[in-house]
Every structure is written in structure tokens, then in C-alpha cells.
Amino acid sequence: MAVNEQEVEQIVKQILNQISGNSAGASAVSPAGKNAVGTAIPATAHVAMLTELEKFEVKEYPMPQVGDDDILVKVEGCGVCGTDAHEFKRDPFSLIPVALGHEGTGEIVKMGKNVKKDSAGKDLHLGDKVVTCMIFQDDPEITMYDLNKQNVGAADVYGLLPDDDVHLNGWFSDYILIRGGSTVFNVSDLDLDSRILIEPCAVLIHAVERAKTTGILRFNSRVVVQGCGPIGLICIAVLRTMGIENITAVDGNQARLDFAKRLGASQTVSFKDFQGLEALTGAVKDSFGGHLADFAFQCTGNPMAHANIYKFIRNGGGLCELGFFVNGGDATINPHFDMCSKEITLVGSWVYTLRDYATTFDFLKRAKGIGLPMSELITHKYPLEQINEALKTNLAMTGLKIAIVNQ
């Protein structure tokens, strides 16, 4: 059907009105303006600022200008990490006042003119869902995505930055400003729960990659995972997606042990059922049909657990220690009996590389594909206004992964 010139003019006017935001009910607009599809960006943003030990205050700040290399993201959700809990309880990094939250994700609502692609070379557009990894503006070598093999633990991270005049520095907020020099990944093909789990899952992708360097971890390996908090449970899921089936989970919480089976553990051992290390070692051995483990992952952050786990491993076996993200104290081992005479191959693991971060996206798709209930790791969701309660729930260990989710 033909459209006359007058009708065309009317249609153009309607489109221009939508773009310029002349529709009724538009909210106040910040210096950031509107995005290209006409969605109003508010004049202020809300940030959960840790102002003293065990006290967040939700503060309101002016929306910052979006520079040519920056990205403004509307936050959809962010997981609560053990690091956040440590900062909430003790401020070990001396950051207060600080905007925490580094397991976040959200939607791009405004982009600087120089922003075209993400850190993996994937196109970025308004409306895309993104996550950040680390900030490397002071170390250009580490931004070489295809060549990077460095551990990124020494880089800066959103959610652990000193407060400044921008304030939108952590994912416990309703908006975050991603500055030029940051890594960012387009993860629009993942659902919200999966995106919230990306950062902790990357920790385990890295740990398993470290374990593989020993040459001991194979399809038919007998593997023990000690500690069934979120890190240990994700470790089990990663191993299961790799095809490893003979996995024993060790913990003292029966609910967590039950969930470990749903994520891929074939056997479980509760340390509460056994008196002494010898009896516990016997139980682990029995779970493998009378054999010790070929490989072990120590995920607890408890020095005594680290000292004990050597007993679970066969001569010539391997161990990956990844449980210590802060100083948890010293562990006492006997170098002769625990390492030398058994010729244990030990690797440590801490955070991840950019490669591991990208690999995590495929892991989450694979885990979902084989039916692992990854989203059920998130047992509690709180609005931003209840962030103090969320952190207390994390510290009480009454759930697994706690998350802040914006409505």
C-alpha cells in the first residue's frame, strides 16, 4: 500500500519525538543524557557505600559524565563474594569508605564514541549485557587478550577501588561507570543468574587449568574436593563438565554435601561423622573403593584443612590449593611425609587470566546443557536497600551464593 508524503512526514515526526524523549512521563535526565533508543537516564545513581565496619549506607550521587572511552551500565545484579564479607567485617584492605561488589552484571545504557568492541573482539551495542574483569590501564601488556597468560590478581577491580569523585566504582549500586582501560565482555547470550556466577566460576576454571598443568588430572582420575561452599561446589561442576566422574566431596554440612551430588560428586564424606584424621582419611579411601585420591582440590580457606588434605592423596598424586583469598594463617605439614616421600605435585591458584574469564562463558553453557543446577547456587536474593542483611546472611553461612538483584 502506498504511503503519501504527508504520512511519511508524520511518521518521521513520531520517531524524532521518541528519540528526543518528548513522550509524557520521561524522568529527569543527567549530563549522561539519553541513550540512542530514547531510554531516560536518571540524574542520580544509588550506591551502597561501606562507610564503617558492618555498615553500608545507600547514598545518592550525581550521574557522572560518560567519556569517549567509557560505558555506563545499569546494574542488574551482583553476587556477594567472601572478599566482600571480609571487607564488611574487618576492612583488611583499608578501603573504607568504599563501593564494593565485583561479581556484577548489567545492561549498557550509554557508550562513549570510541567504544566499539569488548575485550574479546565482540561488538558492543546499547542494550548488551556485560561483565567486567579487571582494569589494566597501568599495565598495557596484560591487555593483549590472545597472548595473556598472566594471573590478573595484581590488577585493579571494580568493587575494590578507593572512593573518588565518580563514586560509581562497585557493582553494589544501580549504575556503574566502566572507564576506559577496563576489560569488558559482552555476555548477552547468558541469563542473569549465569552472569552473576561468572566471576566465581572463573576462579575455578583457572584452578582446574592450573591442575591440568601437573599432567595428573585425567578423565579417570579419582578426585577429592574439600570444602563445599560456593567455590568447592563450582569446582565439582567444572570437573563434571570435563567428563571427570569419580569425585568425592568432603564437608561438614549435609545440605551442601547433598547439593554437591547434584552438581556432579559421585560420593560424599562428612567429616563430622569421623573422629580424627586417620578415620577421615579411611572414609575418603573407602569412597574410592579402597584407593586414595589421584588429585585433590582444597577449597576451604582453613589452614588445618590444608594440612589434612595431603593424607587423602596417593603417592605421586597432585594437589591444587585455591582456598586462601586472604591471609588465613599458617598451616603445619610434615615436608617429608606429606610432600617429599609421596612426591606430591602441588600448584597454587589465585583468581584467573583473561583467557579463563572467557572460557567461563562456555563452561556455564555446557553446565546448563548437561543439566547441572548452577542457578540454584544462588540461594538468597536481596534488593540493594537490604545489603547489610545480605552480608550478614553470607557471614552466617546460612546459604550458598548470596546476591544483590535490582528490580
Domain boundaries, the chain: 29-196+373-405, 204-348
Q: Which fold has domain 29-196+373-405?
A: Quinone Oxidoreductase; Chain A, domain 1 (3.90.180)
CA gap 188, 192 in Å, rounded: 9
Could you read off the pLDDT tens digit of each residue along the chain, which spans 407 residues? Answer: 444 444 444 544 444 444 433 333 333 334 444 454 456 899 999 999 999 999 999 999 999 999 999 999 999 999 999 899 999 999 988 999 999 999 999 999 999 999 999 988 899 999 999 999 877 655 555 554 443 456 666 678 999 999 999 999 999 999 999 999 888 999 999 999 999 999 999 999 999 999 999 999 999 999 999 999 999 999 999 999 999 999 999 999 999 999 999 999 999 999 999 999 999 999 999 999 999 999 999 999 999 999 999 999 999 999 999 988 778 899 999 999 999 999 999 999 998 888 888 899 999 999 999 999 999 999 999 999 999 999 999 999 989 999 999 97
CATH topology of domain 204-348: Rossmann fold (3.40.50)
Distance from chain centroid for Cα 25: 37
Helices and strands, number each (H, E), in the chain: 10, 16
Could you give the CA distance from residue 258 to residue 239 in angstroms, rounded to a whole number? Answer: 17
pLDDT, residue 379, reads 97
pTM of the complete model beyond 0.75: yes
User: What CA–CA distances, in Å, run from 113 to 43, 61, 68, 102, 124?
Assistant: 21, 24, 5, 26, 12
Distances (CA, A) of 279 to 27, 103, 187, 248, 311: 65, 39, 46, 16, 11
